[in-house]
Chains A and B, each alone.
Chain A
């Protein structure tokens, strides 16, 4: 079974600054995906960024980037130029690759509440 751990229940950052959210995971799988989702007060779970484990290059999406360390089983999210709209609960999630016969499921961490202050 896979586990995902987010050790920072809450974080805050000033607008326009940079913040890094931490995530570690445990798995015996070699092929998998890692995700960061954000959940604002509206409750909608929104995909932020995705990383394939077989790719060594870290994923980036505009102001969002990850630091994927496969050997250390670490997957942190860096948000640059933080904006007020980034205020949300952020979840790190793991999914085993290959879903047609095994029912790929997302395993989530407990979340990190990020507040961006003006």
Chain B
């Protein structure tokens, strides 16, 4: 167990709806990264949050947005859901120390199905 938790574990939505996924980082970590993993593929980086601000973004449209809270937990919000958004969403927490981001530890993921 990494100490990173995510909720919910599973979610079913319909096209056009909005969804919020949550992540609690490992104790002592100050950075949260989100990844999307489509079936049979490697995870793709969505964005990263550090000091409550977005600190790097992958090739995802603006309808993917996020937040980081003072306790370092984070939310991923997806608006106007599309069928292709069906995937496993992984959260990873890590520590930035001395200007370097250390190893990322993953939560169990949220499986999102868009119908």
Which A residues are closer than 8 A to B by beta carbons? 4, 33, 35, 37, 42-47, 50, 91, 93, 95, 97-111
B106 at the interface (CB under 8 A from A): yes
Which B residues are closer than 8 A to A by beta carbons? 2, 31, 33, 35, 41-45, 47-48, 50, 55-58, 88, 90, 92, 94, 96, 99-101, 103-109, 111
Q: How far is the CA of A5 from the CA of B101 in the complex (A)?
A: 23
Q: How far is the CA of A107 from the CA of B58 in the complex (A)?
A: 10
Q: B37: shortest Cβ distance to chain A, in Å?
A: 9
Task: Compute the total of residue contacts between A and B using a CB distance below 8 Å.
Answer: 80
Cβ of A43 and Cβ of B109 under 8 Å apart? yes
B interface SS class = strand
Q: How far is the CA of A95 from the CA of B94 in the complex (A)?
A: 13
Q: B103: shortest Cβ distance to chain A, in Å?
A: 6
Q: How far is the CA of A105 from the CA of B104 in the complex (A)?
A: 9
Q: Across the interface, name the chain A residue whose C-beta is closest to B50.
A: A100
